[in-house]
């Protein structure tokens, strides 16, 4: 396995390795998505191989499932596992109350379902993800394809009345076409600048027909492990 090279990757790697120490034999573990979570999955693969660690991983995306299989972490679906001891996942932003923006990798729906079905959620991130107020990172919202332009218009209108700085909903693209999630839906990235009341926004967004789920994780994360470019970590 090639190690991390840039300071940001070293930070992600350090956070992932630290979080991997929370995983004990016999656990059912939710496996997050993204570059930080990928370090965790690789580390768990090492522990399975070197220590004979016995776990079942529940991946939050097809890409994480493929990586877990590649590095030898046994996987199950959430319906097979039913309830998990722990989920470890990355984040795009995290505030002081451990509320998150997630979905930069487009896996927010499965990530939220898996984290909610876990006794504990640990977030792993480099220090750039820690923010005072959520919202600089565009908030991903998963929407169904039917009537997507109408859903976008309704979201933008609704946002005008809320405590946010911007209201643009931008369809996420990949390779020149609309991005598709593992569930076959699309993503609207909401350019809000700053979210005044994340708890309220998380509830309101899901009232709009066509919205499947939003990337605000409120009261779901229990612990955050922050990595730094010098390889040190801090846990909150
Ligand atoms: C994927 C996510 C990721 O956890 C988030 O985008 C962070 O990614 P990375 O670890 O690559 O910075 O929410 O949907």
* pLDDT tens string 32-82: 999 999 999 999 999 999 999 999 999 999 999 999 999 999 999 999 999
Residue 1 has pLDDT above 70, yes or no: no
Q: Which of 10, 9, 70, 63 is nearest to 44 (CA)?
A: 70
Residues 6+ apart with CB under 8 A from 168: 156, 190, 191
Distance in angstroms between the alpha carbons of the first and the last residue of the chain:
29
What's the CA angle centered on 93, arms 178 and 37, to 5 degrees?
75
Which of 15, 34, 93 to probe ligand 1 with, by most ligand atoms within 8 A of CB? 34
Query: Beta strands 211-214 and 186-191: pairing type?
Result: unpaired
pLDDT tens readout for residues 134-148: 999 999 999 999 999
Residue 2's pLDDT is what? 81
Which of 15, 33, 179, 224 to probe ligand 1 with, by most ligand atoms within 8 A of CB? 33
Residue 5 has pLDDT above 70, yes or no: yes
Tell me the mean pLDDT in the region 184-200: 98
Choose the catalytic residue: 24, 97, 111, 132. 111
Whether 111 sits among the annotated catalytic residues: the reply is yes
The confidence band for 198, taking pLDDT boundaries of 50, 70 and 90, is very high
Average pLDDT, the chain: 98
Residue 28's pLDDT is what? 98
Residue whose token pair is 């984290």: 115
pLDDT tens readout for residues 24-38: 999 999 999 999 999
Q: What is the ipTM of this complex?
A: 0.99
């Amino acid at each position: 396995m090639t190690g991390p090279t840039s300071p940001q990757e070293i930070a992600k790697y350090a956070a992932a390795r630290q979080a991997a120490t929370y995983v004990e034999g016999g656990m059912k573990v939710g496996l997050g998505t993204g570059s930080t979570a990928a370090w965790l999955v690789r580390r768990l693969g090492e522990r399975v191989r070197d220590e004979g660690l016995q776990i079942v991983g529940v991946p939050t995306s097809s890409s994480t499932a493929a990586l877990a299989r590649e590095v030898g972490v046994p996987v199950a679906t959430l319906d097979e596992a039913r309830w998990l001891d722990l989920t470890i996942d990355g984040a795009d932003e995290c505030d002081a109350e451990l509320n998150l923006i997630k979905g930069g990798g487009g896996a927010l729906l499965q990530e939220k379902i898996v984290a909610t079905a876990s006794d504990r959620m640990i977030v792993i991130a480099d220090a750039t993800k820690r923010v005072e107020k959520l919202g600089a990172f565009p908030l991903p919202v998963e929407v169904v394809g039917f009537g997507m332009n109408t859903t976008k218009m309704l979201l933008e209108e609704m946002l005008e009345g809320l405590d946010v700085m911007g209201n643009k909903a931008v369809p996420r693209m990949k390779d020149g076409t609309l991005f598709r999630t593992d569930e076959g839906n699309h993503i609207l990235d909401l350019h809000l600048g700053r979210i005044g009341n994340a708890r309220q926004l998380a509830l309101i967004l899901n009232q709009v027909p066509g919205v499947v789920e939003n990337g605000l994780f409120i009261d779901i994360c229990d612990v955050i492990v922050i990595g730094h470019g010098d390889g040190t970590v801090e846990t909150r």
